[in-house]
Amino acid sequence: MSVQEYRLFIGGEHCPPVGGEWFDSVNPYTGKVWARIPRGGAEDVDRAVSAAHAALSGEWGRMTATARGKLMRRLGDLVAANAERLAEIEVRDNGKLYAEMVGQTRYHPEWWYYYGGLADKIQGEVVPVDKPDMFTFTTAGPVGVVAALTAWNSPLLFVAWKCAAAIAAGCTVVIKPSEYASASTLEFAGLTREAGFPDGVFNVVTGFGADVGASLVSHPKVAKVSFTGSDATGRTVYQAAAGGLKKVSLELGGKSPNIVFEDADLDAAVAGAISGIFAATGQTCIAGSRLLVQNSIRDEFVARLVERARKARIGDPMDAAVNIGPVTTTPQFEKILNYIDIARGEGARCVLGGNRATGAGLDQANFVEPTIFVDVTNDMRIAQEEVFGPVLSVIGFEDEDEAVAIGNDIVYGLAAGVWTRDIARGLRMTKRLRAGMVWVNTYRAVSYMMPFGGTKNSGIGRESGMAAIQEFLETKSVWISTSDEPPADPFTLR
């Protein structure tokens, strides 16, 4: 296969980086270079932000909300028509299963349809203010240029989550995708032009965090920053954005409890535990990496879980029969193996996996065996720190109160799962668990209609659903005097 060379997307055009440099994108499964990605820099960021800022007062800014919505729905149709091609590109870039990525790219258009329909439903309100002879109302307008920094594990899904709501609100965007998975976002950019978006509405500058990310977050014409990634990098982004008093949304890490009670449907709970940690090779912020199992069923449940997980097939992510693909990056692969060593050193007992996966078709890539640790206590590093890989920590509990205490005893608060046939218990747990999302008798379910985001170190703000569009709007208060008389005392507050 020939190596494809990509270009930046700025002001409606594909263009080379000012510095004239590219870097390689390596297929995580084959280990071979398949694409060259432009290495942008501060000058490219300035060009993109300037184009985005100009669009706000240009054709895009003058366009009616209804017209914006029509363009968004057209874009959704184009993504649907190209879903399989975009999914294949994402697999080459990040090594995740084709079945997972094509599911995401086929579902991706729903964000554009949903927010396209919402674009002309953004309304203010008339306020019956307590002042006489005043007519008052509010309006809602775009915050301005949005910097969107996305992660490598689901690039186009994150584009939909961040950009559909922003564009519906009337904002313009500059995206900095992860240097590990940039190609699909550049491909997607071309579809925005095909859909008829005015120049400057959607821009993509690829490159590295120190060159592109830092310049983008600190740019004076950027009004809002939306970031997905680790909590450590999120803090850096937050601090940099604070220097310009920019609005910020952060979707960060997690160490989510997946809680199984003794009255649960155990077959369903085993499947939910598998989905929670081994789907996407564990490379997801919502991974149910802490499995809390009631002591009365713990041994039986772990035995069932090990039996099921042992059957998982590891290999080529394009193979429909494969369940677990390679780890996307070498640094992440090394981090996972290091945490496995840490867990053993802490006294956790490995009952499945715990090694690099090797064998025919595996040696050229970074594969980790599905790994399960038992005898884990919640104070261990393996239970407190995000591994971002197929590594599960099993923790026992006696009753509901202890499950809540363990579940909440973490700096993260992104997601949680609860498995029980007792609906009253399920509802109680949703109230008591400190997480932005709680699934009962399911796991890893997402929708364009439902807010996504966490509490504590898992982030700030929400993506998807009605709540997301508020992240990109500014409220303006309008006061109109209906009095024919001037104020009696102009030196006092009215």
Tokens of 429: 């747990």
Helical (H) or strand (E) element with 372: strand 371-374
Q: Which residue has the tokens 């000058």?
A: 43
Rounded Cα distance between 316 and 394, Å, is 28
Encode 222-242: b = buried (16+ Cβ within 10 Å), e = exposed: bbbbbbbbebebbebbbebbe
* Neighbouring residues of 66: CB distance < 8 A, sequence distance ≥ 6: 119, 120
> Which one from 100, 110, 251, 386 is the annotated catalytic residue?
251
Q: How far is CA 146 from the centre of its chain?
A: 16
Say whether 251 is catalytic.
yes
Say whether 163 is catalytic.
no
Supply angle C-alpha 232, 237, 239, rounded to 5. Answer: 95
Is residue 87 a contact partner of residue 105, using CB atoms and an 8 Å limit?
Answer: yes
Alpha helix ranges (H) inside 95-176: 98-107, 109-118, 155-168
- Three-class SS of residue 176? strand
- Three-class SS of residue 99? helix
Query: Of 221, 188, 181, 224, which Cα lies nearest the Cα of 203?
Result: 188
Instruction: Supply the DSSP symbol for 22.
Output: E
- 222-228 and 247-251 beta bridge pairing: parallel
The counts of H helices and E strands in the chain are: 17, 23
Rounded Cα distance between 487 and 494, Å, is 8
> Which one from 179, 285, 369, 386 is the annotated catalytic residue?
285
Query: Of 334, 390, 322, which Cα lies nearest the Cα of 361?
Result: 322
Q: Which residue has the tokens 């990525």?
A: 101
- Three-class SS of residue 247? strand
- The Cα-based distances of 269 to 117, 416, 430, 446 in angstroms read 37, 13, 17, 18
Q: Taking each helix axis from N to C terminus, what angle separates 155-168 and 98-107, rounded to the nearest 10 degrees? A: 10
- The Cα-based distances of 94 to 30, 46, 345, 381, 404 in angstroms read 11, 28, 31, 27, 35
Q: Is 68 exposed, middle or buried (0-12, 13-18, 19+ CB in 10 A)?
A: buried
Q: How far is CA 160 from the centre of its chain?
A: 10
Report, as residue numbers or ranges, the catalytic residues: 251, 285
